[in-house]
Structure 1
């Protein structure tokens, strides 16, 4: 294995536009966590509790995104937070964050394939699930193997379908909530579901448990940073995307959950396959189940598409710092890290096998690592921003010269770190999720130990990191 490449024979192409970057982040967040997971959150915390959980989760997402925004303007490179962690926290942490994030998304890409297959079974019950998995695998591979622009354009339309569905749901649901549309003979609920069993019918424990679900649903917004290395004019497009993404995600999530909570009793929301389908049925939308099946299928393919892209670029970034074999840094003639894409896809498909042949053992371990990995990634972004800003000021840099600045420093990154730690504490208090911490942090420790023995004991493969972050900025 070689040290970090001093010069690349070929760079990633900066072909993504502002609209692509925005929809990429939006598409990474609006998925099954909203269409299916929102019912679970309402069932665990009640109507008001679910809204509190989504607002707190949205606050955490905002803190992460502004920290990522400052770093992405300083180092707009493919790999984003992995490169930031390597530079501003340490190579060992960069190694851990890169591999745990890659593992998390690669696993979920595989799960998205099988989930899409099950959705297709509604329309084609006689076709084996594996056939649909194979078809979607080929489609997403083709999209990602062409160019970054082809991926971004596809994701733009995938995300557009989801956004349109959510807007339509909010309009229809609000009309039914206030009696402008009938609910199959039922009176307009107005706000009765919010107060019938008290503000927090399951207590604060339910709010905390649902908050973990909410935070996991919001993960994916950080993919915007991964795309920074392939974005046109990052100094203009990245701040614009950050300013709009948090507000719009919160509006979509909070308004959708508000309408769901008002129409569907919280005791029933947690046991429904999709509360969105229930609401459409209640207002008499024809073919409601089929419409939502299509929207959820689009959401699943969108998440799979984004995950495949993120994994490929993270693995590419790891290869650039000597943390993965240089073969993963090879670009095809279209500027795509093709070997990284192929390996990611193979691992994703192998993860499908573990869900069948080792469901109670290896598959559970992989899921646990994935859950912990997302929160650790968010925490590393805040720590890296905190350390960068301190280092920047210590070396005489002026904050006003930064292209994008985290407000209220150091309060914002510190609050973000504390909230991420709080998620782990809440997880430890939930017996059903506690074991995920054992496996997740066990994997993290194993990664640190591997890095120590592989790179820090006189190895010539030690990672070299540029002294100045400006050197890592890729030119257009």
Structure 2
């Protein structure tokens, strides 16, 4: 192994890989598992929640895209944070982003333990996370192309399942298929208490899980250093986001609640499994459970990629131990991958100690951490445009500066609501504590070290 001056991250991700990684980042446990509790909380109005969050996530992605394409010699958005917001924000944002993916991976690994109980009811919840983490760690050690191939196949399975759900759900609603004493119909979206069936508060309550469904979409910003043609591949991946939002989120929610009234959706299993089981398709529950398990595997795979690359970027910037900078002969940051995997083993212990409550706590922490990072990235884009009023040549942020400021206000409002909401307050306090600890570490340890080297 050698340092960055002699080796660089592999640039072996192709357009197909980038497209599927972007899709994989937008479809995960939040949609397949978390949507059940979100539907129960907000009723049909969750469709509007997905549209609103999706719109602002699209703006956030366009901001990241313009940053990345303004200088393709930089390998991740952390390089731009350093340039436009300074060393402190680079340190805090980088480590917060690492913690984002660690907490998300913990939530997804917990989900695998829940899904495996479908086939093995007496299987301890910690076993599946342990086995899956070991297997994915081994595949990520090989090279980045192996990660890209694995993620492509995982994403294709997820996409196929959602397309089938949407087509079948819409068809059943059109023909008026009878399901468990109910008639499938688009009228189910308004005939069980109205579109805002649980009121405005229920609508707002759904935002935590809706935002959780979108976390990770910015991961395409970390693949910039490992794609063979970022100027062509990144715009394609980012601009396809509205289509994915419309089909994957809004389309699937309409299909689910048209077939099954929202108040009959259970929270103990994936609503995808419930819908296909209820219409009498032989083996549907087992097939869909395999699909949602694949979604969790995909998300965990993405987490291992992101955490290892984030540590590598932090080390390159002098914000993490130098050993995280080292690359294998295949261009994989092995030391960073090893450390992230070791930390993830904590979730195996948590699933052994507190299997019933670990998912809700960890998913809340993950959501809040990602929103904090998104706010920093949007602010970074504002500073970039202030320094470069013309913007990038071919990929400008639409509606700047109004869209940037509107996104900042929206994501800040989400954080405020999560703080005042009793069910997410603990997660919010944990995330704020991590943020403050990182600020303290920077001031006490890294700032003096940086001053000495200048």
SS of residue paired to 2:388: helix
Please give the TM-score of this superposition, normalised by the length of structure 1. 0.88
Relative distance call for 1:158 and 1:361 in structure 2 (3 A) is: closer
2:308: which partner in 1?
312
2:150: which partner in 1?
154
After superposition, what is the alpha-carbon deviation per residue over 1:43-65, rounded to whole angstroms, capped at 9, x for unaligned? Answer: 11121x11110110111111111
1:403: which partner in 2?
394
After superposition, what is the alpha-carbon deviation per residue over 1:292-329, rounded to whole angstroms, capped at 9, x for unaligned? Answer: 11001100100000010000000000000010001001
Relative distance call for 1:461 and 1:262 in structure 2 (3 A) is: farther
Question: 1:20 pairs with 17, 20, 26, which one?
Answer: 17
Structure 1 residue 415 displacement after superposition: 1.1
Matching of residues 245-260 of structure 1 within 5 Å: 245-260=241-256
The 1-side partners of 2:133 and 2:452 are apart by 35
Residue 40 (str. 1) matches residue 49 (str. 2): no
Matching of residues 100-249 of structure 1 within 5 Å: 100-125=96-121, 129-179=125-175, 181-183=177-179, 186-249=182-245
CA contact (8 A) 1:79 1:313 kept: no
Gapped regions of structure 1 (runs ≥ 5): 465-476
Gapped regions of structure 2 (runs ≥ 5): none
Matching of residues 329-340 of structure 1 within 5 Å: 329-340=325-336
The 2-side partners of 1:109 and 1:461 are apart by 36
Structure 1 residue 81 displacement after superposition: 2.8
Relative distance call for 1:324 and 1:359 in structure 2 (3 A) is: farther
Higher mean displacement: 75-84 or 411-420: 75-84
Question: 1:261 pairs with 257, 262, 271, which one?
Answer: 257
Please give the TM-score of this superposition, normalised by the length of structure 2. 0.92
CA contact (8 A) 1:100 1:369 kept: no
Residue 424 (str. 1) matches residue 424 (str. 2): no
The 1-side partners of 2:364 and 2:167 are apart by 37
Higher mean displacement: 352-361 or 427-436: 352-361
The 2-side partners of 1:360 and 1:257 are apart by 26
Residue 383 (str. 1) matches residue 379 (str. 2): yes
Question: 1:450 pairs with 425, 436, 441, which one?
Answer: 441
Matching of residues 309-388 of structure 1 within 5 Å: 309-357=305-353, 369-388=365-384
SS of residue paired to 1:191: helix
Relative distance call for 1:429 and 1:79 in structure 2 (3 A) is: farther
CA contact (8 A) 2:34 2:209 kept: yes
After superposition, what is the alpha-carbon deviation per residue over 1:410-436, rounded to whole angstroms, capped at 9, x for unaligned? Answer: 112111111110101221231111232
The 2-side partners of 1:273 and 1:365 are apart by 18
Relative distance call for 1:116 and 1:108 in structure 2 (3 A) is: same
RMSD: 2.5
